[in-house]
Structure 1
Amino acid sequence: MSDTSRPRAVTTPVPPTPAAGYRPLVEAALPLLRDWLPRQRWFAGKGHPITTITPLAITLLPGPTGLARATGTLLHLLLRVEQRHSGGGAPVVDVYQLLLGAHPDGLPGLHGAAVPKDAVIGRITSGPHDGLVTYDAAYDPALTRRLLALLTAPQRLGPLRFLTLGARLPAAAPGRVSTAEQSNTSIIYDGGSAAEAAILKLFRRVSPGLNPDLELSLALGRAGSSRIPAPLAWFESELPDAADEAPATLGVLTHFLRDAEDGWELALRQIHLLDADPARVGNFAAESFLLGRATADVHLALARSLPVTVLRRAEVESMAETMALRLDAACLAVPALGKHREALRQIFRDLAAAARDGLRLRAQRVHGDLHLGQVLRSPRGWVLLDFEGEPAKSLEERRQPQPAVRDVAGILRSFDYAAAHARLADPAAAAAWSARNREAFCAGYAATGAEDPTLDPVLLRAFETDKAVYEVVYEARHRPDWVVIPLAACARLATTPLTPTAHSTWAAPGSTPPTSTRHTSTEA
């Protein structure tokens, strides 16, 4: 996919900084980083030894004159990390972004804010930097304030380019890391008015090209969508190992909705009411209906703003085969999934058969990793966040058009996650909660005029199964205690007969049951 949608802006060069003088400090920290990196949630290569770490770029982010010792050193690093897998073959290479803080006075309580233990990389114990404490400076408000200041105006600092859409930013606000669980790091700047509050998402694992989180946010912003936090600024850099490719997006600054509530937390709070009163099974369904509408609004805006294509027979068959291959790999990685392998493979065969019978799918840009933790409920309605897509996929894969039902399946799986995670005393009540909210979400989605996801149960089931298989592998690697949730879903999908699903008649209180227009093409 070309980068014709890449935003352009004029930048003002900033005089070069003496970053080269800090290379000995970075090299002294490399042995500490070798031990520290694999412990981070955002590190992709868990379970495989690091063979080499190479600094690709070192940029000093300047602070106030005369306050260097008080506020410490802040270096922006791009690190090339090479790992060898036990199966042999070519080494796996990733590039990671790190804000490296260094301070001579040690921890804790650095700059008036406690730095979490996991953020401390370690103390250098030899050479000219003996005694210097290094740490992940994303957790240091005094240092992340420097990064925010650079985002207030278009400019260039060494290899880094900072670009802005011209909105007023809280340049003096201290930053705090969001506690939400995610594959990157988000820093909240909330020192001023609600209108000026902002959140910076730092991409930890980076690659050349426009990150879809920025690309889709800009497209939706141009379309006037109210279903996303407004994008404000971003920064990027060419990667020295990929000089002929597009710059890598390093971070995106958006408006911070301080009065919004995380969709996952809201759902869990509502589910816990079921233990006290099982009759309240539908108490979240009105919100699910509205979330369905919001999701469809985003899909329709993306379809108006970015290219849409049609997947014909060969492409749908190839998609089904790719899903089957992911299943095979998942069964090898998580043997407990193997007993359902044949039944789950049949679900993907059904999708391929539907393609042979004439199924053609519209494909467009979508969220790519939608779940209740990626949405916020504000007083003005639901908004969607984090359009980066599944972190395990390449940037090129995440920027490909896909059937919109992929996002629908993600939310449906998230309802199952919420019901299972709440550990209700009555499992039947949990299943009823999930089913009710699945129905409500699909009805809300169809109420906008978007295609009703329930009209093609073969398609929806294939995408839901593919998502559950992905979750099995993800949880086994990152949250083993949670793997039982997607394994239970795979068991349900493998053993429950597929029955035709009529158009949903669920409606929010006071509303009219929606009528949907089917968008699936039947052209040859």
Structure 2
Amino acid sequence: MSPFVLLLDWQGFEKDKYVHTVLEDNLLPHYLQKCSWLSNKKIGRIKITGAIRMQYEEDEFFFVYLQIKSAGSDPQTYLFPVSFVEEGTTEIPEEAFISRATLDEKEGFLVDAVYDPKFRLALFYNILRTTQTPQKNDQILEFDRGTGILEENELESSYLDIGSNNTAFVYNDKYFFKLYRTLHQGINPEIEVLRFLSRTQNFNSYADYCGSINLTENGNTVYTFGVLTEYIAESKDNWSLTGDYLNDFISGLVDGNFQVKEDVFVKVADLGRETAIMHDALFDLGSEESFRPEQINRTYRTEIHRQVEVSLDKVYDRLIDKYLELDTPTQALAWQFMEAKDKILNFIDQILTRVFNSLRIRIHGDFHLGQILINQNGIHVIDFEGEHLIPIEQRMIKHSPLKDVASMIRSYHYAVSAKLYNSDHTKKIPEKDLLRASDRWYKLMRDTFLEEYLGYFGPHHTLLKNNNEVNYLLQFHLLEKAIHELDFEISHRESWIKIPLKGILDVVREIEKLRTV
């Protein structure tokens, strides 16, 4: 525990420079080291740039804005809620304590509010009652109530460690609250998508929207602080389930058998169909403008061409710098990739000259096996916020739904590659045999998923107009995703570089089969 005793004044906390300075310089640099939502712990500077007041009955809490500059990254603003807990009144875990403090002559502690049961209850009941809390700067903290929330006679809450960039709570094993830690200007796309799906009622395989917390100014959303949804009880994410299937597959592989249980194909086909139903629900010709389908026009094509071309040049240069540090099999893949660069560029350039009649829509935006929960009631898609590091206005751009499809297909490739390359049971299997086995398993899953997905839409659906367009766009987005993965692995996991390289080379082989239209 810090030797500091903070003298808190809740009435003036928003502009209490002394308390802010002590937090910035002495308390938070140490405390944030144990916060799982902050990925880069090499903190250089912390600045408190604002504080938003929340009330419930007699209690007050603050959502503090922390601008953090970490090594190797630009400054980023995070949401950090705090509360005061009087000593001896509430059982708080040790990891919650920031500092000793006094408030209104009461002795206690300034704590990380996510561990404070009163804070968690305040979130829920303010949503239930659609509270509006005016701030001193003319902004309003608004609590929106969705259709999935009901009155609760008794409410128990618990902090849930989800090991991600957000923080989560569960209420009565019925409701799930997600606190967005990284702040981006505007309404979070997840809120828009969940509200939209709850209105259309054409897709039911998601967690019902129960409410959200938004900071507004003059009727416009400045930030979204969090979302409340249905809690998917007794569920397991599909990444973990796929890992279980792969354990069975590895057992057979070690004995020289290539066996995939029929149940695995059924589960993959089910996901392909549910993905198609999700995209069909998001495809609504009569919907409001933010969800109305759009053409794959020149402006859009020019921008995604620029993004992929820049990313390709970046990973090409980084791979050259890293080349001599790679193991021999990865070097071989890297060399094939570098030799194929001109072919890849020519393929990318086709996005500028092709004519597309297919449409683009709002999509999930971060679609992978970990975003799918499975329980006895079936499939549930979660986390519609998109990639959290991308600015919100970019996450709201409409894309071909095949961008989601490509992301899920790449997730299957990662699942089998990571499992086979990192399992103790496969260490005695020659790498070329592992590569062949992983390729076969991946392609079976890919083809099963695609067959069910495309079969749902048929050959002439307005969203996916014809096979030529589908083939090109799918390969384009597979390439886009694999390039993004390669950039990540070069920075973080050298031993995994071979996985996205293999994905890129798979696209190169498909490019050779495609004819320019």
1:135-168 per-residue CA deviation (whole Å, 9 max, x = no partner) reads 4322344431222122211111243111102530
**SS state at 1:277 partner:** helix
The aligned runs of 1:329-348 (5 Å cut-off) are 329-330=314-315, 335-336=321-322, 340=337, 343=340, 346-348=343-345
TM-aligned CA deviation for residue 443 of structure 1: 1.3
TM-score by length of structure 1 reads 0.76
The aligned runs of 1:266-281 (5 Å cut-off) are 266-278=241-253, 279-281=258-260
TM-aligned CA deviation for residue 126 of structure 1: 11
TM-score by length of structure 2 reads 0.77
Q: Give the match for residue 308 of structure 1.
A: 293
TM-aligned CA deviation for residue 465 of structure 1: 2.3
d(CA) in 1 for partners of 2:129, 2:103: 38
d(CA) in 1 for partners of 2:76, 2:366: 21
1:400-434 per-residue CA deviation (whole Å, 9 max, x = no partner) reads 11111110111111112211332342524333322
Q: Give the match for residue 181 of structure 2.
A: 204
Paired residue for 1:215, among 177, 181, 192?
192
Counterpart of 1:461 in structure 2: which amino acid?
Answer: Q
Counterpart of 2:446 in structure 1: which amino acid?
Answer: R
Checking the alignment, whether the CA contact within 8 Å between 2:412 and 2:445 is kept in structure 1 is yes
Indicate how the Cα distance of structure 1 residues 352 and 121 shifts in structure 2: closer, same or farther if over 3 A, else same.
farther
The aligned runs of 1:407-418 (5 Å cut-off) are 407-418=404-415
The aligned runs of 1:164-243 (5 Å cut-off) are 164-166=145-147, 167-170=149-152, 172-191=154-173, 197-224=174-201, 225-238=203-216
Checking the alignment, whether the CA contact within 8 Å between 1:96 and 1:204 is kept in structure 2 is yes
Counterpart of 1:459 in structure 2: which amino acid?
Answer: L
Indicate how the Cα distance of structure 1 residues 45 and 151 shifts in structure 2: closer, same or farther if over 3 A, else same.
same
d(CA) in 1 for partners of 2:314, 2:42: 17
d(CA) in 2 for partners of 1:475, 1:35: 29
Q: Give the match for residue 516 of structure 1.
A: none
**SS state at 1:100 partner:** strand
d(CA) in 2 for partners of 1:113, 1:132: 11
Q: Give the match for residue 462 of structure 1.
A: 476
d(CA) in 2 for partners of 1:452, 1:445: 14
**SS state at 2:300 partner:** helix
The aligned runs of 1:429-508 (5 Å cut-off) are 429-449=437-457, 451=464, 456-474=470-488, 480-481=492-493, 484-485=495-496, 487-494=498-505, 497-499=508-510
**SS state at 1:248 partner:** strand
Checking the alignment, whether the CA contact within 8 Å between 2:309 and 2:348 is kept in structure 1 is no
Counterpart of 1:29 in structure 2: which amino acid?
Answer: L
Indicate how the Cα distance of structure 1 residues 463 and 171 shifts in structure 2: closer, same or farther if over 3 A, else same.
farther
Counterpart of 1:291 in structure 2: which amino acid?
Answer: L
TM-aligned CA deviation for residue 221 of structure 1: 0.9
Counterpart of 1:237 in structure 2: which amino acid?
Answer: L
**SS state at 1:448 partner:** helix
d(CA) in 2 for partners of 1:376, 1:442: 20
The aligned runs of 1:144-159 (5 Å cut-off) are 144-158=120-134, 159=140
**SS state at 2:61 partner:** strand
The aligned runs of 1:79-98 (5 Å cut-off) are 79-81=65-67, 83=69, 92-98=74-80
The aligned runs of 1:270-419 (5 Å cut-off) are 270-278=245-253, 279-282=258-261, 283-304=263-284, 305=287, 306-313=291-298, 315-330=300-315, 335-336=321-322, 340=337, 343=340, 346-359=343-356, 361-419=358-416
Q: Does 1:160 align with 2:136?
A: no
Indicate how the Cα distance of structure 1 residues 169 and 323 shifts in structure 2: closer, same or farther if over 3 A, else same.
farther
d(CA) in 2 for partners of 1:251, 1:53: 22
**SS state at 2:510 partner:** coil
Counterpart of 2:405 in structure 1: which amino acid?
Answer: V
TM-aligned CA deviation for residue 230 of structure 1: 0.9
Counterpart of 2:311 in structure 1: which amino acid?
Answer: R
d(CA) in 2 for partners of 1:111, 1:53: 29
Indicate how the Cα distance of structure 1 residues 112 and 355 shifts in structure 2: closer, same or farther if over 3 A, else same.
same
TM-aligned CA deviation for residue 370 of structure 1: 0.4
Range that drifts further, 312-321 or 435-444: 312-321
1:150-194 per-residue CA deviation (whole Å, 9 max, x = no partner) reads 221111124311110253054743333333333212211125xxx
Provide the aligned length of Structure 1 versus Structure 2.
Answer: 458
d(CA) in 1 for partners of 2:126, 2:387: 29
Counterpart of 1:160 in structure 2: which amino acid?
Answer: L
Indicate how the Cα distance of structure 1 residues 492 and 147 shifts in structure 2: closer, same or farther if over 3 A, else same.
closer
Checking the alignment, whether the CA contact within 8 Å between 1:145 and 1:171 is kept in structure 2 is no
Checking the alignment, whether the CA contact within 8 Å between 1:228 and 1:384 is kept in structure 2 is yes
d(CA) in 2 for partners of 1:392, 1:310: 26
1:364-396 per-residue CA deviation (whole Å, 9 max, x = no partner) reads 100001001111123333121111111121110
Unaligned runs of 5+ in 1: 1-16, 66-72, 192-196, 504-521
Q: Does 1:100 align with 2:82?
A: yes
Unaligned runs of 5+ in 2: 1-8, 135-139, 324-333, 459-463
Q: Identity of paired residues, percent?
A: 19
For the aligned residue pairs, the C-alpha RMSD in angstroms reads 3.7
Checking the alignment, whether the CA contact within 8 Å between 1:208 and 1:238 is kept in structure 2 is no
Checking the alignment, whether the CA contact within 8 Å between 2:51 and 2:65 is kept in structure 1 is yes
Paired residue for 2:231, among 249, 256, 270?
256
Range that drifts further, 153-162 or 122-131: 122-131
Checking the alignment, whether the CA contact within 8 Å between 1:446 and 1:452 is kept in structure 2 is no
**SS state at 1:173 partner:** coil
d(CA) in 2 for partners of 1:502, 1:329: 27
Counterpart of 1:231 in structure 2: which amino acid?
Answer: Y
d(CA) in 2 for partners of 1:55, 1:345: 47
d(CA) in 1 for partners of 2:403, 2:466: 10
